[in-house]
């Protein structure tokens, strides 16, 4: 068995725990770099916001890439999975509430 397949066999429902761990760990590690890049376009995005936005960004990126994962499929299903939708919209709310526009200081 290929090692990644071994790690992906551990699941909560139909979602692989490994995918969530890698996504959150990746965003946590990359968040200082991402915040620095976004500061160049005058947005202050704290690390906490990046962590909250991990799943919504993942869903958007999978939709844009045309790779429909179980989480993406469940989110775009308009007839069910309402708890998931509430969680994702809650993550969007908490992820965006601390984002600030950087204003030019007058010195």
pLDDT at 1: 58
Residue 42 reports pLDDT greater than 90 = yes
The residue among 45 and 8 whose pLDDT is bigger is 45
Specify the residue for token string 């005058």: 42
pTM flag (> 0.75): yes
Judge whether 6 and 12 are in contact, CB under 8 Å: no
Q: Residues 6 or more apart from 18 whose CB is under 8 A from it?
A: 4, 7, 8, 10
CA terminus-to-terminus distance, the chain = 62
Residue 107 reports pLDDT greater than 70 = no
Judge whether 95 and 36 are in contact, CB under 8 Å: no
pLDDT at 106: 58
Task: Quote the DSSP letter at residue 80.
Answer: S
The residue among 56 and 106 whose pLDDT is bigger is 56
């Amino acid at each position: 068995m290929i090692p990644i397949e071994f790690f992906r066999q551990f699941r909560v429902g139909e979602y692989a725990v490994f995918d969530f761990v890698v996504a959150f760990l990746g965003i946590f590690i990359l968040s200082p770099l991402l915040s620095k890049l976004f500061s160049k376009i005058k947005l202050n995005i704290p690390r906490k916001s990046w962590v909250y936005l991990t799943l919504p960004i993942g869903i958007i990126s999978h939709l844009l890439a045309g790779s429909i994962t179980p989480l993406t499929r469940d989110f775009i299903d308009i007839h069910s999975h309402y708890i998931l939708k509430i969680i994702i919209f809650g993550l969007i709310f908490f992820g965006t509430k601390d984002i600030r526009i950087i204003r030019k200081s007058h010195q």
